[in-house]
Structure 1
Amino acid sequence: MNKTKKFKELLREPGTFILPGAYDALSARLIEGIGFKAIYATGAGISNAQLGWADVGLTTLKEVVEIVTRMADVTTVPIVVDIDTGFGNAINVIRTVREFERAGAAAIQMEDQVSPKKCGHFTGKQVISKEEMVNKIRAIVDTRQDENLSIIARTDALAVNGIDDALERAHAYSEAGADIIFVEAPTTIEQLKQITSSLKGIPQVINLVEGGKTPLISLNEAEEIGFKIMLCANTVLRSAIKGINESLKILHKEGSHKNVLELICTWEERQSLFQLNQINEWENKYLRELP
């Protein structure tokens, strides 16, 4: 079964699932290795890790495609790709879909912000018209070569125009062909319940950002409220930042690895993660000395 079909099957399975964010091939390998059933290629994480800048729409189509291609090359589970605003208008979206299908995406998530966008939990966001976003979704539907490529439509209108407009947009995006709806940055449990009750029967995403606008609820709570996907887009990145900082502080202060060793993986764990044994097998098979 290919990855687009795997993701469709995951949506049909009972219960809510956690979707952790990856920002490079290393983090994608780790997510699959732990046992998660899908990976989220996080736009914010890619901007942070690859560019060293905040999530304000600075990444280019080709930069994200390159990272996603690397992720897909070293993993077997579906990858959901954050394509921000589609990197332009509906015409740009046509090229964007083609690029990410070739890269190996199982699903793509597009939002209705004005480009350049901002992180969904930042202030000062702006949104395009509902009609423009509907046409961008239609462009995806008409362009995709694999009918199983899932479309996640995100609306950032709640913070801009209020929840009524956000829900109206959500229904319109679903009718236009989106498979999954993502109302970004609700601020209360009551809003979460209002979203799921208004969109019954449509798979929905809750985005849990540590320190962000949405209450941090558990997987069980997300399922009880009615969400299908519990997105944890940058938990991996932020844990990596803290771990790297802790190790560097000790190394800088003490000038020794003695107290760093307990904070880092072993040599064997590292080489296992990066498939050194597989490379050795290839060397023995293809690079051995000919008779």
Structure 2
Amino acid sequence: MPYVIGDDLPDIPAGQRFRALLDRPGILRMPGAHTGMAALLAKRAGFEALYVSGAAMSANMGLPDLGMITVEDVCWHVRQVSRASSLPALVDGDTGYGEALNVMNMVRSFEDAGAAAVQLEDQLLPKKCGHLNDKKLADPHDFAAKIAAARRARKHLYIIARTDAAASEGMDGAVGRAKLFMEAGADAIFPEALNTAEMFREFARRMPGVKLLANMTEFGRTPFFTDQEFEAMGYAMVIWPVSHLRVANRAMEELYAAINRDGGTQGMVDRMQTRAQLYDAIGYHEYEALDSTLVRTVIPEGMPQR
């Protein structure tokens, strides 16, 4: 059953549970999940931590990933994910929504919403997806001050500093920034948009003893690597940030096209999650059992004949 009722809620803060997962052998795998339903399905598939992507949240609101969403927009998504699944979630904090004081407010807000970890990136607004061109970088010392502010404000939140410098400053620039950000208080580093296995390996060689995060996004600059391949390259975490949204959006496009073409959904039923499967995923009957005044729902099977 989803963790929503008193005794079922975890007693350990999300950030501490995230650290415990990282302390285990093996790479920590985090698929994207920006809604409560996605979080439940990822948990059912066996994942133990999740990634809440800024690109997915923005797209969910019909907006481009240009740093347009607010702290409260993000917290609305994080609360869904946290309440529905109880899994520790790494949350995309973009550039921190402002300067040092704004970053501190973000940290407090994210922790209150249930986040386990935050990723902050060294771009300037309007920020872009890390795999696009013409990204404008913040001064490294200015960004280090944001990391220090996040560290000061947190109670348990795990802080991951992302650098987008490899594309414009090369490996030396990216490594130099990463070391500065670790000195400022980051717990881990996310080198974004590396485009060869050798780049991933070199970055890891030059950051010994540091927890590193790899981004396996589709249609970007990074070739396909598996979780085990990233682990062999020296990475402790891997995310698939927007994969779930891409699959869901394609399915919705096909559904709407079918309704428009066929006048109904009759040709798409075999592609759908059934009512019984949906109710099972959200624990419908378990919720009913909590209230003795509710009669157990009988779920219709299949589609009635005309």
Question: TM-score, structure 2 length as denominator?
Answer: 0.89
- Listed as ranges, the matches of 1:106-255 within 5 Å are 106-146=116-156, 149-255=157-263
Shift of 1:158: 1.3
Q: Structure 2, unaligned stretches of length 5 or more?
A: 1-11, 296-306
2:85 paired residue number: 75
Residues 288 and 294, structure 2, Cα contact 8 Å, conserved in 1: no
**Structure 2 residue 34 is matched with structure 1 residue 26:** no
Q: One-letter code of the match for 2:198? A: E
SS of residue in 2 equivalent to 1:119: coil
Shift of 1:116: 2.5
Q: Equivalents in 1 of 2:72, 2:265: separation in Å?
A: 39
Q: Equivalents in 2 of 1:72, 1:286: separation in Å?
A: 26
**CA deviation profile, 1:129-185 (whole Å, cap 9, x unmatched):** 110111111111111123xx2100000111222221111001111121111100100
Q: One-letter code of the match for 2:117? A: A
Aligned length: 284
Residues 38 and 78, structure 1, Cα contact 8 Å, conserved in 2: yes
Residues 84 and 110, structure 1, Cα contact 8 Å, conserved in 2: yes
Q: Equivalents in 1 of 2:248, 2:33: separation in Å?
A: 11
Q: Equivalents in 1 of 2:103, 2:83: separation in Å?
A: 24
**CA deviation profile, 1:231-256 (whole Å, cap 9, x unmatched):** 10011111111111222222322224
**Structure 2 residue 274 is matched with structure 1 residue 263:** no
1:99 paired residue number: 109
Q: Equivalents in 2 of 1:201, 1:90: separation in Å?
A: 27
Q: Equivalents in 2 of 1:94, 1:220: separation in Å?
A: 35
1:45 paired residue number: 56
Q: Equivalents in 2 of 1:12, 1:158: separation in Å?
A: 28
Which 4+ stretches in 1 moved above 6 angstroms?
none
Q: Equivalents in 2 of 1:109, 1:282: separation in Å?
A: 37
1:59 paired residue number: 69
Q: One-letter code of the match for 2:116? A: A
Q: Equivalents in 1 of 2:265, 2:141: separation in Å?
A: 58
2:95 paired residue number: 85
**CA deviation profile, 1:183-241 (whole Å, cap 9, x unmatched):** 10011122111111111211111111111011111112111111111110011111111
Shift of 1:30: 1.4
SS of residue in 1 equivalent to 2:32: strand
Q: Equivalents in 2 of 1:192, 1:215: separation in Å?
A: 11
Question: TM-score, structure 1 length as denominator?
Answer: 0.93
**Quick one: which of 282, 285, 303 aligns to 1:274?**
282
Residues 126 and 160, structure 1, Cα contact 8 Å, conserved in 2: no
Q: Equivalents in 2 of 1:223, 1:187: separation in Å?
A: 16
Q: Equivalents in 1 of 2:183, 2:21: separation in Å?
A: 22
1:2 paired residue number: 13
SS of residue in 1 equivalent to 2:91: strand
Shift of 1:282: 3.1
How large is the Cα RMSD of the aligned pairs? 1.5
Q: Which moved more, 1:80-89 or 1:13-22?
A: 13-22
Shift of 1:277: 1.0
Q: Structure 1, unaligned stretches of length 5 or more?
A: none
Residues 152 and 180, structure 1, Cα contact 8 Å, conserved in 2: yes
**CA deviation profile, 1:92-121 (whole Å, cap 9, x unmatched):** 111111111111111111011102211111
Q: One-letter code of the match for 1:48? A: A
SS of residue in 1 equivalent to 2:224: coil
